[in-house]
């Protein structure tokens, strides 16, 4: 069975601080996909990034970066120089079935204070 | 990625009534998914809807309570039947599309409050 853990329930930072959101996953499958989604107060779920299990290359997109480490089964998300607009709930998700059977973590609520 | 819309965006309903939520995709897609997100919780998959076949429900969800239709490759509906306050949630539809079939893209969600 698959499982995703996001140990940080809530995080508060002051604007311009860097913040890292942790995600730890469990699966026995060798092929899997990891995702991060952002859910702002409006409620929609916004796709941020996908990573497959064969690609451990870290990725940077503007102020966002992701660190994928298979050795520790982690897929952490860092926001550099946080902004108020980054305030949202962030979900990490895992899929072993190519588009199906997504397992979502419990989410981390990030509050960025001005 | 596909553009997904949902109607209504929010509603307040009385217990015992039913509400049908519509999900429209701007391109033809094979699979559509319906999720429930209870207040302060993560997403839980209700069912997978493929065109031309009955929806596949996850454990804990039944067709009588959450009937789903999938009349064509761009549209699906989810009905929440005989509602109770415990059904107050955000209901989201999603699909995979385009070049990245491993990724699910989500609609804006329907916020339901049952009094």
| Nearest residue, CB atoms, A95 vs list B102, B108, B109 | B102
pLDDT in tens, B30-48: 899 999 999 999 999 999 9
Q: Nearest CA to CA, how far is B82 from chain A (Å)?
A: 24
Cβ-defined contact of B103 to A47 (cutoff 8 Å): yes
Q: Considering only residues 42 to 101 of chain A, which have any Cβ-Cβ distance to chain B shorter than 8 Å? A: 42-47, 50, 52, 91, 95, 98-101
Give the contacts of B53 (CB within 8 A, at least 6 positions apart).
Answer: B70
Best to test chain B binding among A53, A98, A100 (most B CBs inside 10 Å): A100
The b-or-e profile of A61-74 (16+ CB within 10 A means b, else e) is: eeebbbebeeeebb
Q: Percent of chain A at pLDDT above 70?
A: 100
- Which tens digits make up the pLDDT trace of A33-68? 999 999 999 999 999 999 999 988 888 899 999 999
Tell which residue, A9, A66, A13, A21, has the closest CA to residue B42. Answer: A9
Least confident of A4-8, A88-92, B14-18, B99-103: B99-103
**pLDDT for A84 beyond 80:** yes
> Does B103 contact A107 at a Cβ distance shorter than 8 Å?
no
The pLDDT value given to residue B100: 73
Q: Does A9 touch chain B (CB under 8 A)?
A: no
DSSP structure string for chain B: ---EEEE-SEEEE-TT--EEEEEEESS--SEEEEEEE-TT---EEEEEEETTSPPEEPTT--TTTS-EEEEETTEEEEEE-S--GGG-EEEEEEEEETTEEEEEEE---EEEEE-
Which residues in chain A are closer than 8 Å to B45, comparing Cβ atoms? 101-102
Over residues A70-82, the mean pLDDT reads 96
Residue of chain A nearest B103, judged by CA positions: A99
Cα end-to-end distance, chain A, whole Å: 41
Banded model confidence at residue A99, pLDDT cuts 50, 70, 90: confident
DSSP A87-99: -EEEEEEEESSSS
Residue A100 has pLDDT above 90, yes or no: no
Of A43, A91, A98, the CB nearest to B111: A43
A41 touches chain B (CB under 8 A): no
Residue B108 and residue A98: Cβ atoms within 8 Å?
no
A75-79, A94-98, B59-63: lowest mean pLDDT where?
A: A94-98
> pLDDT tens track of chain B, all 115 residues?
789 999 999 999 999 999 999 999 999 998 999 999 999 999 999 999 988 888 999 999 999 999 999 999 999 999 999 999 999 999 999 998 767 778 999 999 999 999 9
């Amino acid at each position: 069975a698959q499982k995703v853990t996001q140990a940080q329930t809530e995080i508060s930072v002051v604007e311009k601080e860097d913040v890292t959101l942790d995600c730890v996953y469990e699966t026995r499958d060798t092929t899997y996909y990891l995702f991060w989604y952002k859910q702002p107060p409006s409620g929609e779920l916004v796709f941020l990034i996908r990573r497959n299990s064969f690609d451990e290359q870290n990725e940077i997109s503007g102020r966002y970066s992701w660190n994928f480490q298979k050795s520790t089964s982690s897929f952490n998300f860092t926001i550099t120089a946080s902004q108020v607009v980054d305030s949202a709930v962030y979900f990490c998700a895992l899929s072993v079935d190519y588009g199906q059977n997504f397992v979502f973590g419990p989410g981390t609520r990030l509050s960025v204070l001005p | 990625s596909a553009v997904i819309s949902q109607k209504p965006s929010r509603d307040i309903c009385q217990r015992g009534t039913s509400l049908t939520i519509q999900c429209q995709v701007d391109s033809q897609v094979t699979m559509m998914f319906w999720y429930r997100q209870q207040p302060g919780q993560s997403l839980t998959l209700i069912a997978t809807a493929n065109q031309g076949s009955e929806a596949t429900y996850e454990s804990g969800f039944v067709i009588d309570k959450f009937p789903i239709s999938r009349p064509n490759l761009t549209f699906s509906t989810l009905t929440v039947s005989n509602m109770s306050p415990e059904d107050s949630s955000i209901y989201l539809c999603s699909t995979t599309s385009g070049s990245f079939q491993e990724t699910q893209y989500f609609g804006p969600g329907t916020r339901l409050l049952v009094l």
